[in-house]
Homo-oligomer: A and B are copies of this chain.
Amino acid sequence: MHSNIPEVVIDRLPRYARALALLEGRGQQVVSSQELGSELGVTPAQIRKDLSYFGRFGKQGRGYNVRRLAGELKSILGLDREWMMALVGVGNLGRAILSYRGFAPEGFRIVCAFDCDPQTIGASFGDVCVEDVEKLRLTLRDRPVDIGIVAVPAAVAQEVVDALVESGINAILNYAPISPHVPADVRLRDIEPVLALQGMMYYLKEAGGSAKTTS
């Protein structure tokens, strides 16, 4: 049912939603595709086309009602509910993820965490208690979890992904520096600062050496 809408379009919607939330916070009531576009560095035509996949949310001659459009986008994306997440890997990175303040306000809650280190198992972070990763399948059988977060070393990341998938999870946020294999019906996103950096360095390479192009 979804297959008709290009994935790139879906990918842009969260940015639109975020910009609209910002405008709403500023008290702005109406926005044109022009204005929203220049806020985000996107052409107005693209915004209009993207939105037109889902309905007619604007008023000709006026623009879009900020609050209304923000609400529509949240509903389209499924952000009008809470999503439960399980974290696997409670090392340095995992702890940072656990203490990240950005998830909760957007409706994403980490409800359980797993590790394999006996020192870490049993520890509590906020209201989350770290369980033995061996119990992952068992625990996920009882708890409704929607999303898995993988924050383990590369060497064990694939097996953790497999365990999550077998537990019925079909959205994974991967922080490990590998490209895991998942079945076609499972969504996977990589959060990989190193890949992002490496992609930029190509352009930096020739741009004039070590910083300072200043006269």
Distance in Å: Cβ of A102 to nearest Cβ of chain B: 5
Expressed in whole angstroms, the Cα–Cα distance for A2 and B97 within the complex equals: 37
Count A interface residues, CB 8 Å.
Answer: 71
Q: What are the residues of chain B within 8 A of A200 when measuring CB–CB?
A: 147, 171, 173, 187, 189
0/1 string, A69-97, CB within 8 A of B gives 1: 00000001111000110000000110111
Interface members, chain A 179-199 (any B CB < 8 Å): 179, 181, 185, 187, 189, 191, 193-199
Known: A15-B195, A19-B179, A191-B193. A170 touches B204 (CB 8 A): yes
Q: Are B102 and A171 in contact (CB under 8 A)?
A: no
Q: Are B210 and A84 in contact (CB under 8 A)?
A: yes
Interface 9-residue window, one of A6-14, A26-34, A43-51, A59-67? A6-14
